[in-house]
Amino acid sequence: MSAVFSLTMVAETLRISAPYACAAAGGVWAERSGVIQIGLEGVLLTSAFTSVAVAHATGSAALGVVAGVIAGAAISVGHGLLVEKARVDAVVSGIALNLSAMAGTRLALRGLYGSASNSPAIEGFRFGPTGSAGWSLLARVFADPVTLLAIAAVVATPFVLARTRLGLRVRAAGENPVAAAAVGVDVTRVRLSALAISGAVCALGGVHLAFDQHRFESGMSNGRGFIALAAVVVSGWRAGRAAMACLAFGALEALQIVLQDQARKGSLGDLVQLLPYVATLLVLAFAAGRSAAPKGLGKPAEE
Amino acid sequence: MPAPVLRVDRATRRFGELVAVDGASLTLEAGAVSAIVGENGAGKSTLLKLCAGVLAPSSGRVLIGDADLAPATMAEASRRGVGLVHQHFMLVGAFRAIENVVLGAEPVRSGGRLDLATATARVRELMTASGLPVPLDAITDDLTVGERQRLEILRVLYRGARVLLLDEPTAVLSPLEAEELYGTLRRLAAEGRAVAVVTHRLDEVVRFADRVTVMRRGRVVHEAELRLEGGGRRPAAGLEEELTRAIMGGDPPPPFAPPAFAEGAAVALAVAGLRLGDGAGRTLLDGVDLEVRAGEIVGVAGVEGNGQRELVRALAGLEPRAEGTVTVAGQRLDPRARDAVRARRSVLAVVHEDRHEDGLMLEASVADNLVIGDLGDPRSIAFDEAAVVARRLGRFHVDPADPARLAGELSGGNQQKLVVARALDRLLSARATGAAVLAQPTRGVDVGAAAAIHAAIGEAAAAGLGVLVVSADLAELRRLAHRLVVMRRGRIVATLPPTASEAEIGRAMLGVEAA
């Protein structure tokens, strides 16, 4: 039981939650501005791959982070341009984004590293004490620049949305684009800005995923973008609650790892592995009907 | 003569083939309230949008002060002190009121942080000065219609407007609220602003405006000063007729007279103990009892949002959770019946209040719109669609009478005729006994279309249907109905003869005891 309430558990929860929370915050930014974004999975993958490729080529982890974030913002804005300017259906564009990210990273893996499964290892950031004790795990989490950036972005999101001019305009664009335009807000520009932020924040999650493993693996986002999207919906499109939902999900996954260590002998481990997913299903089933989407979600900028 | 603050000089605005505004000129002066009247599609709203920079003129000029409005954008017009209050409120429902005021002109501190405290202080000053109270921290969706309108005006004043343009501001207000609004507008004008109001209600023009501009087919066809030299007003006598003639370009239709109705006629529509909650503990209908006899027209008055919409929906069979009984032509209607709406169509005709939301498929043809609901039952094998469409178009004078046209291409008045035609003709042609329920039958339609719809309502009553009309327009109800009932908080609180004064009806609507 002590394994459940331990520093290891806290450290693992934070480490595991970071990509989910970043993707969810990114989803909130996009959808609160009124643009349906089911392509978070693709943003995670693309940014994870780009960060590893650049870090590997330049030998600089910092440059890798920057490149990953830029790549995430860029494809997210690309999605926005397709939806807002070319009037492509947002769901179609999102699916296209996910599929091309999946295929594109595979193709690039083969082209650059001649492998179907993973990139060569990168150094990434290695700060903090070594060892597998709980306190050293936790220290490493808080010494990791990517994790710190991720936490900062996730914590800042609800404040920026609620308290700044940009946040007000993003919310207006998402709730009632016609009314926002009527008072002189350039809805298309606001939505593209929101998507750039969405992509950048989500990309931090992708970079975290890759740097945590010190390499890129094909399909390594493994559905996290979709689970984050579920968290956004369950939270009623509220950034703070979505982050809490991701933290809870991360805790369940951490619990599963901790318990699995203990139950390795029996067949219980397989069942324990299901825990986070069963929890997601349950929460979705109970919360789906009650949450309120932004009223202008998916509505074009003009009448 | 005060200097004009805004002048439109022979402006024309085209939309493709259509000329919405055709060489119109308009002068707005500081201190004056100007009214702009005309039928639907006469170009009033377009003219207002030219003034506010929402649209640019195809030719001609808009001058603010002495300089052209260039570029012709809303941002530029707003910067130079012109503010427009839209017909359909342009507010974000989920925002707090104060957030709606500042949106687009936000005061910020370092780092782009909103400075709502400063904004709130300034708006409170404006509220006191202008007499426009609004709860600034409330969620906009929770505000009453009147409060939302005040919020829109505050928003324009917050941007420092010297010219205030309002597009049909009283269409959604109760008579008392409308009177209050004009009081406020007069005060704002007296402070040196220019005010222009587009409206359909001539009685308001006669009572409150300093001058009136009449538009027809995009042109300004008539102008009149209503404030005389020396401070008096033009007498109301003859003025409304003069304006009506200018609006219609000819003599007005004969006034509507409800058909005779025999007191002892059979009950066509009986409602007893009708209750409805919103599922979250709020009561929408709180025991409505109502009887409409065959051939009788009963008008339902009330401030909007007091259960009228829910009453119509419940009668139509759209509220399966409604309790109580609804009996039409002796037939008990069960709200929980499978297919409750279709089950009613042989005895009940319903016109919902929002023709775009509930009445029409704008992207479908006129013909499809006219027969939807008549198809799909075994008898429709013998249903001659073309004949029915032609009859409905002719009987209700839809113009153009072209079944292939898209419904969305018709003017608002003709769209409304489609909805009314579909509902009433089904019962009238079948010589059915039953009832007709019409919500806001002439909202936002012009004088000609309104007269045609009123005639159709009279025809329905003369044919022996019991008719229930819900309307926010008291003048309409008083003209149409044999009897008025007033709804407040989901109940019928008063029954009055149509001869009751607007003030008396207004007091019942607000629950104020007679003084």
Report domain extents, chain A: 19-222
Residue B378 has pLDDT above 70, yes or no: no
To the nearest whole Å, the CA of A229 is away from the closest chain B CA by: 22
For residues B65-73, give the mean pLDDT: 88
Nearest CA in chain A to B77: A184
Q: Touching check for B279 and chain A: CB below 8 Å?
A: no
- Return the higher-pLDDT residue of A32 and A135: A32
**Would residue B373 count as lying in a domain?**
no
Q: Which residue did the predictor score with more confidence, A200 or B476? A: A200
**Residue B106 touches partner A, C-beta closer than 8 Å:** yes
Q: Shortest CB distance from B92 goes to which of A164, A172, A184?
A: A172
Q: Cβ contacts (< 8 Å) between B112 and chain A: which residues? A: 164-166
Nearest CA of chain A to the CA of B84: how many Å? 9
Binary contact (B99, A166; C-beta < 8 A): no
Question: Chain B residues with CB inside 8 Å of A168's CB?
Answer: 99, 102-103, 106, 114
Q: What is the pLDDT of residue B12?
A: 93
- The DSSP annotation for B274-309 comes to EEEE-SSS-EEEEEEEEEEETT-EEEEE--TTSSHH
Last residue of a domain, one of B159, B176, B210: B159
Report yes or no: B69 and B62 within 8 Å, Cβ to Cβ. yes
A226 band by pLDDT with thresholds 50, 70 and 90: very high
Name chain A contacts of B75, Cβ cutoff 8 Å.
184
Six-digit token pair at A219? 């399909």
The CA distance from B349 to B360, in Å, is 15
Residue B491 lies in a domain: yes
Same domain, B141 and B182: no
**B172 and B113, same structural domain?**
no
DSSP state of B55: S
Domain assignment present for B495: yes
Q: Supply φ then ψ for residue B56, to 5 degrees.
A: -100, 140
Strands B194-198 and B4-15: unpaired
Top pLDDT among A27 and A182 is at: A27
**Closest CA relative to residue B396, chosen from B417, B371, B374, B367:** B417
d(CA B315, CA A53): 66
Cβ atoms A72, A263 nearer than 8 A: no
B483-488 vs B466-470, strand pairing mode: unpaired
pLDDT at residue A268 tops 70: no
B90 with A295: Cβ contact below 8 A:
no
Examine the domain organization and report whether B169 and B238 are in the same domain. Answer: yes
SS3 state of residue B331? strand
Of B159, B178, B205, which closes a domain?
A: B159
Residue B381 — pLDDT band, cuts 50, 70, 90?
low
B441 and B347 part of one domain: yes
Considering the domain architecture, whether residues B166 and B243 belong to the same structural domain is answered as: yes
Following DSSP, what letter does each residue of B186-198 receive, concatenated?
HHHHHTT-EEEEE
Other CB atoms within 10 Å distance of the CB of residue B72: 17
Range A175-204 average pLDDT: 95
| Confidence (pLDDT) at B127 | 93
Interchain CB distance below 8 Å, A185 and B103: yes
**Structure-derived torsion over alpha carbons of residues B170, B175, B176, B182, reported in degrees to the nearest 10:** 40
Query: What is the least distance, in Å, from the CA of A179 to any CA of chain B?
Result: 4
Pairing of strands B67-68, B59-64: antiparallel
Which of A81-95, B255-269, B469-483 has the weakest average pLDDT?
B255-269
- CB within 8 Å: A183 and B113: no
Residue A303: is it exposed, middle or buried by C-beta count within 10 angstroms (0-12/13-18/19+)?
exposed
Q: Name the minimum distance, in Å, from the CA of A27 to any CA of chain B.
A: 19
Query: Is residue B227 situated within a structural domain?
Result: yes
One-letter amino acid at B186 equals: R
| Phi and psi, residue A2, nearest 5° | -60, -25
Band (pLDDT 50/70/90 cuts) for residue B379 is low
- pLDDT at res. A288: 59
pLDDT value, residue A289: 55
B113 to A178: CB separation less than 8 angstroms, yes or no: no
What residues of A are in contact with residue B111 (Cβ under 8 Å)?
164
Structure token digits, residue A183: 């008072």
Residue B337 CA: distances (Å) to CA of A208, B320, B372: 56, 8, 21
Question: Is B65 within a domain?
Answer: yes
According to DSSP, the residues that pair with B276 across neighbouring strands are B285
Q: Is the pLDDT of residue B513 over 70?
A: no
The one-character DSSP state at B143 is S
Sign of the torsion formed by the C-alpha atoms of A242, A247, A249 and A250:
positive
Residue B102 included in any domain = yes
d(CA B201, CA B203): 6
Hey, is the C-beta of B158 within 8 angstroms of any chain A C-beta?
A: no
Domain that holds residue B297: 267-359+433-510
Could A185 and B111 be called an inter-chain contact, meaning their C-beta atoms sit closer than 8 Å? no
Most confident option among B253-262, B380-389, B494-503: B494-503
Is B484 in contact with B298 (CB distance < 8 Å)? yes
C-alpha angle with apex A303: A294 to B113, nearest 5 degrees? Answer: 50
Instruction: State how far the Cα of B398 lies from the Cα of B394, in Å rounded to an integer.
Output: 7
Q: Are strands B348-351 and B267-277 parallel, antiparallel or unpaired?
A: unpaired
Task: Kindly report the average pLDDT of chain A as a whole number.
Answer: 90
The mean pLDDT value of chain B amounts to: 87
Domain count within chain B: 3
Is pLDDT above 70 for A267? no
Cβ pairs A/B, distance under 8 A: 61
Structure confidence at residue A253 (pLDDT): 87
Cβ distance B491 to B286 under 8 Å? yes
Q: Tell whether B202 and B299 lie within a shared domain.
A: no
One domain, residues B352 and B437 = yes
B113 phi and psi angles, rounded to 5 deg: -75, 135
- Across the range A177-183, mean pLDDT stands at 91
Do B355 and B275 share a structural domain?
yes
The rounded distance, in Å, linking the Cα atoms of B425 and B423 is 6
The predicted model gives B37-66 an average pLDDT of: 89
Give B209's pLDDT tier (boundaries 50, 70, 90): very high
Pair B150, B68 in one domain: no
Instruction: Report yes or no: A58 at the B interface, CB cutoff 8 Å.
Output: no
B60, exposed or middle or buried, with CB in 10 Å at 0-12, 13-18, 19+? middle
Confidence of residue A265 (pLDDT cuts 50, 70, 90): low
With H, G, I as helix, E, B as strand and everything else as coil, classify residue B37: strand
B95 near A CB under 8 A:
yes
pLDDT at residue B3 is higher than 70: no
The rounded percent of chain B whose pLDDT value lies above 70 is 97
Q: Is the ipTM of this complex over 0.90?
A: no
A176 touches chain B (CB under 8 A): yes
Token reading at A52: 């590893």
- For B41, other C-beta atoms within 10 Å of its C-beta total 19
Q: How far apart are CA B6 and CA B162, in angstroms?
A: 10
